[in-house]
Amino acid sequence: MKITETAQKKHRDFDERVIDLVSQIPYGRVTTYGHIAAALGARKSSRMVGYALNNVKNRDYIPCHRVINRNGELSGKLHFATPTLMREMLEAENIEFTGDAVNLAKHLWIPEIQ
């Protein structure tokens, strides 16, 4: 199946909007794939948010580590250099955990609808 040029552009635009929004997550805060999708007007596209973040080549400038799942768990940790790096980066920002989950009551940031 061939993807049309329009569909490719739409996908690139969504990915760019995800990256832009993730870049706005404040230091010491986290948000979820679902909150990003909802802010971009695509509430059911949280998985697409994950795909967009997996395509980020240089994570030194994009804080992908601040995006977690709705339960506060680090479902994206396997996409980092080591399985513990994502948590280490969050802990370096003084983000607290309860077991394997981020304390969402304290650290959740909900982006405004774009």
Q: If you write DSSP's letter for every residue of 66-92 in order, what string do you get?
A: GEE-TTSB-TTGGGSSSTTHHHHHHHH
Q: Assess whether pLDDT exceeds 70 at residue 5.
A: no
Higher-confidence residue of 59 and 24: namely 24
Where residue 58 falls (left for φ over 0; alpha for ψ -120 to 50; beta otherwise) is beta
Residue numbers annotated as active site: 64
Cα separation, 110 vs 21, whole angstroms: 11
Cα separation, 64 vs 111, whole angstroms: 15
Count of domains for the chain: 1
Residues 6+ apart with CB under 8 A from 42: 14, 48
Q: Assess whether pLDDT exceeds 70 at residue 101.
A: yes
Domain of 33 in residue numbering reads as: 5-107
Q: Assess whether pLDDT exceeds 60 at residue 9.
A: no
Mean pLDDT of 51-73: 92
Which pTM was predicted? 0.89
Asked if residue 113 is part of any domain, the answer here is: no
Q: Assess whether pLDDT exceeds 60 at residue 8.
A: no
Cβ proximity of 67 and 30 under 8 Å: yes
Mean pLDDT of 85-101: 98
Asked if residue 52 is part of any domain, the answer here is: yes
pLDDT at residue 3, rounded to an integer: 61
Taking the CB of residue 38, how many other CB atoms lie within 10 A of it? 19
Asked if residue 99 is part of any domain, the answer here is: yes
CATH number, domain with residue 81: 1.10.10.10
Cα separation, 111 vs 114, whole angstroms: 8
